Chains A and B, each alone.
Chain A
């Protein structure tokens, strides 16, 4: 299992990468951390004519407080996000999900932008982005545009990015006060893609739910926001009956597919169980949550 031959160029700036993409378009692939692309090349599932290596684009590796949230450059290693005190303080859901991305050896190399752009519907980071209404910055020949997760994800492993565009940054809003977050997933082995994963965020006001957010992996062709279940929680006391009601709603609206790893029925069951557990954890954390400042 060796990759087929390709031409290789290592660029040092986003401008250079854009120029290379503009020249090669469909025949080229951007090489970020390579933790998804390299297996695909090794197994010859893809045979691009040219690789544009953006690992030396230093201007795309940063984590900084910005605009009431945290902006993270696309080439920031997942391990750096995992260890970031700023992320832990301001975007606790991202910090919670990060250790579940592959293994630490994968996160040493894998990038946040690479994972978001790869668009695997079983991956953690797209679901975290969907849950928090993250904003993704995309640069291309026509300029810069900003997308929500809903606008970014099209279907399995497919985004709405043009072949000449680069995902350059993701911005997460800082967690509001009195908000609790939880990431939970179930995989057959730790480090594997999960059968189902759930991101939950709950904001409390005088012990009733002011806002709820739920996003799931592994139950559709892209990360799924369970907006109907979210709405059912708002205004209610977050007792077990209310949380179970939301989890039941998640089960009703998700339409997972069967594959060799699990049946659709089993995934739907997992979606309900994990949603209930994630909501309980998020509520418990919201009750203890200190005010957050970036």
Chain B
């Protein structure tokens, strides 16, 4: 027997959605397939790679380790919510562009959202803090050097705002 779908209300990137979801639908798949927000990338689907990281009520979490139904009533920010189309980039995005903090870009949305919380908690991180804060996001292209530089640069840009 297929368990019945459940109605949920979520606020994603400041927009309200009322949707019906199967209990087993992962939040990552809900965002991508049901809402069409494909900026959230799916890597390992067991919480290791960090590609699917989103902000849930302001906290960085793995969206592959949450059920969509658990997000009922929550506020979610995906990479699409950092800067709307036509608006200037978020300072963290701007810093990654400037410092070449990405290559293929697959891990980037998760890295950006982890960096947002890291810099909110620690506005002036040293390199060790940045590396520890990004340890939960795997990148196979960059070797991380430019990602660390980009987060350092993002701290400067956020300071100026």
Which A residues have a C-beta under 8 Å from some C-beta of B?
1-8, 10, 34-35, 38-39, 42-43, 51, 53, 55, 79, 99, 102-106, 108-109, 189-191
Decide: A51 and B136 in contact? CB cutoff 8 A: no
- Docked CA distance A99–B26 (Å): 27
Contacts of A103 in B (CB 8 A): 50, 135-136
Contacts of B62 in A (CB 8 A): 35, 105-106, 109
Decide: B23 and A5 in contact? CB cutoff 8 A: yes
Q: How far is the CB of B55 from chain A (nearest CB, A)?
A: 10
Asked if B83 is at the interface (CB within 8 A of a chain A CB), the reply is no
Asked if B22 is at the interface (CB within 8 A of a chain A CB), the reply is yes
Asked if B37 is at the interface (CB within 8 A of a chain A CB), the reply is no
Q: How far is the CB of B114 from chain A (nearest CB, A)?
A: 6
10 closest A-B pairs by CB = A103-B136, A8-B23, A39-B46, A38-B65, A108-B59, A1-B45, A7-B3, A105-B60, A3-B24, A190-B135
Q: How far is the CB of B58 from chain A (nearest CB, A)?
A: 10
Decide: A8 and B3 in contact? CB cutoff 8 A: yes
Contacts of B3 in A (CB 8 A): 5-8
From DSSP, what is the main secondary structure of chain B's interface residues? mixed
Contact with A along B44-58 (1 / 0, CB 8 A): 011100100100100
Q: Closest chain B residue to A37 by CB distance?
A: B65
Contacts of B69 in A (CB 8 A): 8, 10
Given A105-B50, A108-B59, A109-B62, are A5 and B24 neighbors across the interface (CB < 8 Å)? yes
Decide: A55 and B47 in contact? CB cutoff 8 A: no
Decide: B136 and A104 in contact? CB cutoff 8 A: yes
Q: Which among A6, A7, A43 is the interface contact of B46 at CB below 8 angstroms?
A: A43
Which has the most chain A C-beta neighbours within 10 Å: B53, B64, B136?
B136
Contacts of A43 in B (CB 8 A): 46
Decide: A105 and B53 in contact? CB cutoff 8 A: yes
* Interface size in chain B (residues, C-beta < 8 A): 32
Decide: B23 and A2 in contact? CB cutoff 8 A: no
- Docked CA distance A79–B53 (Å): 16
From DSSP, what is the main secondary structure of chain A's interface residues? loop
Q: How far is the CB of B138 from chain A (nearest CB, A)?
A: 9
Q: Which among B23, B47, B118 is the interface contact of A106 at CB below 8 angstroms?
A: B47
- Docked CA distance A131–B23 (Å): 39
Contacts of A51 in B (CB 8 A): 23
Q: Can you list 17 A-B contacts (CB < 8 A)?
A: A3-B24, A3-B26, A6-B24, A10-B69, A38-B47, A39-B46, A53-B67, A79-B59, A103-B50, A105-B61, A105-B62, A105-B136, A106-B136, A109-B59, A109-B61, A190-B135, A191-B136
Contacts of A79 in B (CB 8 A): 59
- Docked CA distance A6–B136 (Å): 29
Contacts of A2 in B (CB 8 A): 24, 26, 29, 45
Asked if B70 is at the interface (CB within 8 A of a chain A CB), the reply is yes
Contact with A along B109-132 (1 / 0, CB 8 A): 000001001100000000000001
Q: How far is the CB of B137 from chain A (nearest CB, A)?
A: 8
Residues of B5-30 whose CB lies within 8 A of A: 6, 22-24, 26, 29
